[in-house]
Structures are given as structure tokens and as C-alpha cells.
Chain A
Amino acid sequence: MSSPIKFLAQKHRKQTAIIAVIGSIYLLSSWILNFDSFSGFTAVPRAFNWLGVNFFPTSASVELLPQIWKKLIETVALAVSSTVVAAIIALFVAILGSKATGINGYVHVVVRGIASFFRNIPLVAWAMILLFSFKQSDFTGFLALLLMTVGYLIRAFMEIIEDEASETMMALKATGASYFQVIFQAVLPQIMPSLISWVLYMIENNVRDATLVGILTGTGIGFVFDLYFKSFRFDAVGMTILAIIIVVITLEVLSNQIRKVIL
């Protein structure tokens, strides 16, 4: 009976060792980087103080609101349109590729590979690569967001189909229903709530990401942010950030409400 007790004592020793190792890795890396932990931490309050003073929106920056607002709407529209188009493409590909509804195992592996490829190239890299072909335009941003979103959604939709629709699919197949009947009568109705939930989540994400892409492509709210930032108008930058935060939170609240209704 002593072995479980010995096991627990050993587990304790292991945990202590792991914490010690992590601690020494931290010390070693700060030494390599010449990072002084103490002055680093004490600088934090001063840094935030500086940010608070310089980035606080003033009455002058409030006057810029209409312009910020207009660009922000452009950015939201970009995010929504790219996500919706991506969702349509992804649904089609996911049906062809999922284990439950797909053509065969070979196609499944290929589709997973393609999805992973689009997903794992960082958004910024997509945007910079596409800049060569499509120049600084809204379309470049649209395409960059689209490609990355397609990568995420294919993977998500395939898993949703496999998890949520396999059982009902089997039931309809057993009645003698044909492939397309099963897809339209069982798979699509069954997965619709999860599908919409994912699309809403990607829209929230893409509004944030569209800002970043905008800095590179020179469009939307990203461009405005970049412009103010590079001309040292930090109060206007603060105003822009505030507007973005408000829009993102509003979208989140809105999509949570939609989820509550559909789920």
C-alpha cells in the first residue's frame, strides 16, 4: 500500500523541480537580453501615466469623430463582407471534406491541408504578399481576411459536421434518402446554430484584424490610425482607439444576443 503514497511524494518533488526550472529559464533569458527586471517593473506606472496624458482625447480630437466614424464603418463592412463570403466557400469545401459527408479519406486530408495552409500564414504576411498584386486597396484587405477566415472556418465547419450531424445523417440514410436530401434535410438544419455562432465570432475577430490590415493597405480605420500616429497626433490616435473599442464591444454584445436567440 505504500506505492500510492510514494507516488504522491514524487509528484510533489516533480512539481517543485518544474517551477525551479521555469524560474531559472526566466533569469537566464533576462541575463541574455540585458533586461533588468527591477527597473522594468518600476517603469510600468510611469509608462501608463505617459500614455494616459498623451493619448487622452481632447476637444480637438472630438472634432475628428465624423471622419473616424466614416472610416470605421468602412472597416466593419470589410470585415463582415469578407467573413460572409468566406463562410459560404468554407461550408461548401467542408461538406466535401468532412469525414461524415465527404467524398473520401484522401479528399479529407487534402482539404485539411489546404485549410491549415491558409490558417497558418499570418494575416500580415497575407496582406503584404497580396499588396504586390492588388496594390493598396480595400480589395487587398478583403482578400487577406477572406483567405485566413476560409482557413479557420473550413476546419471549424468540418468538425461541427462530424460532431453534430453524423447521427442524424445515419438515420436519414437508413430511410433511403439520397446524398443531397441528407445534406439539406439533416446536416444543414442540424449544424446551423453552431455555424452562425462561428461566423459571428469570426466577424468580431475580423473587425479587429481589419484595423491591422488597414494600416498596411492604407484603407479604413487602420489608415486613419496610421496617419495620426505618424504625425504625432496622439490625442487623435486615442480617439480612434476608443472608437474601435466601442464598436468591437457593441458587436460582441450584439452577437451574444443573437447566439442566445438561436441556440
Chain B
Amino acid sequence: MLEVKHLTKSYQKDRPALTDITFSVEPGNFLAIIGPSGAGKTTILRSLNQLIRDDHGQILLDGSDIRSDNKAQLRKHRRQIGMVFQNYNLVERLTVIENVLHGRLGYKSTFAGMFGIYSEDEKKEALDLLDKVGLKDFALQRCSELSGGQKQRVGIARSLIQHPKVILCDEPIASLDPASSHTVMQLLKDLTVEFNIICVANLHQIDLAKKYADRIVGIRQGKLVFDEESDMLSEEILETLYDQTTSKELK
């Protein structure tokens, strides 16, 4: 179980980016975080694996606090937390399978990892996962030759090979066309159930969040505005989330 308690962060003094964020997610659940640009969604997500150091609060993964980790402990925690990015963040020059295997680096000795020495089991697992995300025949292609949707599926396979308890998705479909968006969201949803993992995704598309997420958390100006089952989410709640100033300016 992933628990976030009283998370607070400010980049500049007196301008809090996050204020007292508290929520928790059970395994097998898909949580979507929605909110306007600049609300602090990415800051939350990157705090969860400490790519960003927050100021106060607790982040508990199965009861142990990630925030109090030393370097070696943080490495162990991070390998249990997969991450999927808006811009995929693959090494474009390398092949698909090499990128998937990067997910194993957290488990390897520094030397073996530096020179990319992987075991037969790891290679087989990488191929199985590629099969699962529908890219079986692409293993030896360079990532630069893939489409956006395919790249994102490589990113998902890379996070799955970590045997994660949690997958964090930072705007996973913001650069994708509608069809690929649905494929990727469906894939994330299915994998969450199949592997009984926690999936936390920042999303801009409310309709997709409602369709695929189990629960939706709304963030506005660094504060948690609501935390609802996705079928319970009404128009009134959504209006509290998004500022109406833009539409007023146009009038």
C-alpha cells in the first residue's frame, strides 16, 4: 500500500508548490491525479520516488518511509517503483530490448550494469513483457524508429521488468494521438489488475481518467481539492478544480 501523508514542498520561499497532500492507494488500484497545469501534479509524482526532494511529510510504501532513506535504501525503493514519462525518456539510439532491460539496472552490480551484462532469465523476461505490450517483433529495432505509442509501450515494459509495486505515470498520453492514448491507458489498467500493482497517473484528459481510473484526486494550486471514486465525480466538483477565468476573458 502506498500512503502519502501531509506532503509539503516549496521551490521558493512563501510560494508553496504543495500543501499538506494526503492520500493512499491499495494494490490493484489505478489512481489518476488531475488538475490545471502548474497545480503541482508532477511535483507529487516525482516526490513519490524522490526525484524531487519534498520538504515535509511522509511517503510510505508498505509501511516504510522513502523520505528517510539513505542512498542505498533509496536505490532499493526506486527499483520497486516504475516510472513512465510523457516524452518516454528512452535511450533512442539503443534497441527496444536494451531499453527494456534498463529496468533491471537497480538489481545489478555496478559493473554488470555499466556494461549491460544481463542474465538469460532477464532477457527472456524482457521478451515476454514485449509480447505482453504487443511489441514482440520489435525487440531489435532502434527506439528512434518507433511511433510515439510504441515508445510509450516500451517505457511501460521497462517499468514492469523492475517487478514494481508502484508505477508512476507522468502525463503518459499527453504526446499521443487518441487511438494510441486508449491503447496505452487500457494497457496500464489491465497490467495494474494483472500484476496487482499500484498505478498513479497524472492526466489532463478527464474523460480518460473517468473511464480508466478507479479513483481520481484533484489538485489545484498545490492543494488536494477532492479525492473521489471515478464514477462519483460530478460536473460541480470538476468546476471547482479548473479556473473559469479563461472563458471569462474570452467573453
Binding site for B on A (CB under 8 A): 167-168, 170-178, 180-181, 183-186, 189-190, 192-193
Contacts and interface: CB of A to CB of B under 8 A. Distances in A.
A190 to B, nearest CB: 5
B110 A178 contact: yes
Contacts of B85: 167, 170-171
B87 interface: yes
Name the prevailing secondary structure of the A interface residues.
helix
> In which size bucket is the chain B interface?
35 or more
A185 B90 contact: no
B161 to A, nearest CB: 9
B105 A172 contact: yes
A190 B91 contact: yes
Given A184-B115, A185-B114, A175 B106 contact: yes
Interface in B43-98: 49, 51, 75-79, 81-83, 85, 87, 89-94
Contacts of A177: 102, 105-106, 113
A171 B114 contact: no
B150 interface: no
Contacts of A173: 51, 78
B105 A190 contact: no
B92 A175 contact: no
Nearest to B80: A176
B90 A181 contact: no
Given A175-B78, A186-B102, 10 more contacts: A171-B89, A176-B77, A180-B113, A180-B114, A181-B108, A181-B113, A184-B116, A186-B91, A189-B93, A192-B93
Contacts of B102: 171-172, 175, 177, 185-186
B220 interface: no
B83 A174 contact: yes
Contact of B89 (A168, A176, A185, A189): A168
B8 interface: no
Contacts of A178: 75, 105, 110, 113
